[in-house]
Amino acid sequence: MFKRSKTVVGLDVGSAVVKAVELTLEGSEPVLTGFGRAEVTAEGGAPAAVAQALASLRGRARRCVTGVGGQSTVVRYVSMLPMSPEELQQAVRFEADKFLPFELDEVVLDCEQLGDSAPGAGEGTKVPVLVAACRRQLIEERVGLVEQAGLTPLAIDLDLFALANAWELCGLPEEELQDLDPGPVPPAVALVDVGATRTSINVLRAGRTCFSREIAIGGDDMTQAVARRLGVELHEAELIKCDGELHEAEVASSIAPVLEDLASELALSIDYVEHHEGVEVRELLLSGGGSLAAGAATAIEQATGRPARNWNPLEGLRVEAEGLDLDSLELEAPSLVVAVGLASRVRIR
């Protein structure tokens, strides 16, 4: 019982691929002890893909954290007077119609005060508050999917915040970031995960989220562009896109407009957060399968005027090699950020 309580599966249910990561606490150190992935097919859908991905974990863990994202979720950053957590919950629910596009009874709602009043601030000074909501139907569907797979759901997180949790677990400590390039403006790092249907961006300042957003551009848009250019079916275009040498020039030219649109949206996000939060984004860390597309990092660097590099979430994580396909794990590492972030809750459960 004690050993099971220290193991958690992070289950990232994407539109195209399901990824599962198992983290186990050894003392206070989280260790990656299992990994699996499976493509979502028209025949079996998400349930079959979840079962296939979990089969690689050898059935050691029963506790699971999964995530949600997309149009059924909402994240807002609002300013409110300082108050207790209980009072904050009541106040947010009372004013929910101001920042939620859904009826209150349709959603599960949560909120958190992100900081305290600045030193010397007068009475009545407001503080930033994060408000997150998800349609109740989506949560119930995700819980049912987890339970159908024989797992116990511990929490339903937002994919956006799983990025930050993965960075906290495996990334460069914020203190080191500040030491590398001190300056008058607080430094920040932008985590950018390019998935199949959407791209998530989460900006961290002093280890805490100060801005997050989902952009409706992803790897599927690149695949569709390749399919149109080469006159092939989508499944064949996906294979061509992932092969770095096959039709290299055609792939690069066909996905260039998609990357331009994505980079432009990311640049707008960086400009917004720097202007409104008074931070300087020093670097963009890229993850997700779409981030590996030819020219992605270069296009994002040019559009944002910031260094951009691919981030491997396993670099700061010890891996138990026994029983794992290490070659497959290394190949899939860039797309495992959300799953790692979900499983990182093993530290607090």
d(Cα 315, Cα 312) in Å, to the nearest integer?
A: 6
Q: What is the set of domains in the chain, with CATH numbers?
A: 73-135 (3.30.1490.300), 172-310 (3.30.420.40)
pTM of the shown model: 0.89
Per-position pLDDT tens, the chain of length 349: 334 448 999 999 988 899 999 999 888 889 999 999 999 988 889 999 999 999 888 666 789 999 999 999 999 998 899 889 999 999 999 988 888 888 999 999 999 988 765 544 556 688 889 999 999 999 999 999 999 999 999 999 999 999 999 998 886 554 445 454 556 778 899 999 999 999 999 999 888 888 999 999 999 999 999 999 999 998 888 888 877 677 888 888 999 999 999 999 999 999 999 998 889 999 999 999 889 888 889 999 999 999 999 988 888 888 987 878 888 899 899 899 999 999 999 887 5
d(Cα 108, Cα 33) in Å, to the nearest integer?
A: 32
CA dihedral 132, 135, 138, 143 (to 10 degrees): 60
Burial (CB < 10 A; 0-12, 13-18, 19+), residue 1, is: exposed
List the beta strands (DSSP E) in 40-83. 63-68, 73-80
- 339 phi, psi to nearest 5 deg: -60, -40
